[in-house]
Amino acid sequence: MATQQVALVFPVTVSWLATLARGVADYSREHAGWAFTTSPPSLPDADEVILSVRGLRGWPGQGAIATLSNAAEARAARQLGIPVVCIGGKLRHCGLPRVMVDQVAVGRLAAEHLLQLGLRRLAYYGLHGPWYSQARQQGFLERAKTAGVPCEVFETPPVANPGSQWRQTREPLGQWLQSLRLPVGILAVHDYRARVVTDECARLGLAVPHDVAVMGVNNDQTTCEFCQPGLTSVSCSAWQIGYEAARLLDRRLAGQAVPAGDVLIPPEGVVQRRSTDTLAVDDPHVTAAVHFMRDHLGEVFGIQQVMGHVSVSRRRLHEQFHRLLGCTPYEYLCRLRVQRASQLLAVPGRVKMQNIAHACGFSSAARMRLVFQRVTGTTPLAYHRPHAPGPG
């Protein structure tokens, strides 16, 4: 049987999309043995560059995995005569099989993270037009409403007017930031826009994270690590999306039935960096307890040891944690440990689960696995797999 040709119609040089492409490649290596045509945006003279699905007209391959920016591209994809699986969320309905992150869950997860910092004012910075921005906003607002927390919304066009000067494109955002009551937690629709927020905060003299805690979406390593301060972001399970999109395409190529609706992948979790490294609570006992937990996170201890560092009863501390952070002290400690484990698991290369467990204060790798799965819905090994290097 001849090797099947599959086109990847998205910029594989973007770091989080490169992770998605690796999920596709891993599935192919395990099950399909495809040959790939990719679309690097920086190589306009290459023989097989496909910047849009429209460029597949007349292409002799068998299938494609693509992002679709507008209704015209979706229509062109449906008219190609080959199976196409969509991986983008710009369109509410694309008329094709699609695998993507659960966009509403992304917004909920981000709001949950900011609420756990004790923030009682939230804000969302989105884009006019793309459906994924609306869906993330929906989840963010829903969680804020459940918590009884006010939430402001600010939206801008996806692309600034080409004739506008740089300052003109930033002024509305700066005015909005100055109108917010502080401290506030802001979710930007994606990492680049979150970085714009941190830049504007610096220009306006707003301290990140103490005045404004900022987070984005996609966990794009380049954007997040080079941001000052480092940018907290929701990781959107890029590898898993790629793997499942490849599975869906494989079924279509085999003539099998596929789901009529979208296949939604839960977000991996929040990767915390300095842009949300704050605790906005005015209770000294809660603050002391949280500081003890953070300072001793690499040690094995329980809530009994925490109680030795606060001058209040266990019941009172429990009540204050619930009121200010929405969880018990034990739940908060578990989340801190899992958050630290997620950071260590996201480092590329081979890892020893026992070493990571000890570094996060778990008594054993088995205990870490139990708590990690309860908090995130996935196992440490499954979380690490997308970050591990592919075969050389």
| Confidence (pLDDT) at 16 | 86
Q: Tell me the pLDDT band of 81, cut-offs 50, 70 and 90.
A: very high
**What residue type is assigned to position 187 of the chain?**
L
Q: SS3 sequence, 50-64?
A: CCCHHHHCCCCCCEE
pLDDT at 41 over 70: no
**How far apart are the C-alpha atoms of 77 and 63, rounded to whole Å?**
11
Q: How much is the mean pLDDT over the chain?
A: 88
| Confidence (pLDDT) at 166 | 56
Half-sphere exposure for 8 (CA within 13 Å, toward CB): 27
Question: Do 21 and 97 reside in the same domain of the chain?
Answer: yes
Q: Tell me the pLDDT band of 36, cut-offs 50, 70 and 90.
A: very high
| Confidence (pLDDT) at 45 | 37
Question: 200 lies in a domain?
Answer: yes
* CA–CA distances in Å: residue 63 to residues 67, 90, 95: 14, 21, 16
Question: Do 112 and 225 reside in the same domain of the chain?
Answer: yes
Question: Do 340 and 246 reside in the same domain of the chain?
Answer: no
Three-state secondary structure call for residue 37: strand
pLDDT at 43 over 50: no
Question: Do 120 and 48 reside in the same domain of the chain?
Answer: no
Question: Do 89 and 113 reside in the same domain of the chain?
Answer: no
**How far apart are the C-alpha atoms of 208 and 201, rounded to whole Å?**
7
Question: Do 38 and 77 reside in the same domain of the chain?
Answer: yes
**How far apart are the C-alpha atoms of 235 and 254, rounded to whole Å?**
32
| Confidence (pLDDT) at 1 | 63
Q: What angle separates helix 131-146 from helix 103-116, to the nearest 10 degrees?
A: 40
The per-residue pLDDT for range 199-254, each reduced to its tens digit, is 999 999 999 999 999 999 999 988 998 898 999 999 998 999 999 999 999 999 99
- Kindly report the pTM of this predicted structure: 0.81
Instruction: Give the structural domain span for 53.
Output: 5-101+238-267
| Confidence (pLDDT) at 392 | 39
| Confidence (pLDDT) at 252 | 94
Q: What percent of the chain has pLDDT over 70?
A: 91
| Confidence (pLDDT) at 348 | 67
Question: 166 lies in a domain?
Answer: yes
Question: Do 34 and 58 reside in the same domain of the chain?
Answer: yes
Question: Do 222 and 299 reside in the same domain of the chain?
Answer: no
Tell me the CATH number at 51.
3.40.50.2300
Question: Do 88 and 107 reside in the same domain of the chain?
Answer: no
Question: 318 lies in a domain?
Answer: yes
Q: What percent of the chain has pLDDT over 90?
A: 66
Question: Do 380 and 289 reside in the same domain of the chain?
Answer: yes
pLDDT at 276 over 90: yes
Question: Is residue 288 within 8 Å of residue 279, measured between CB atoms?
Answer: no
Question: 392 lies in a domain?
Answer: no
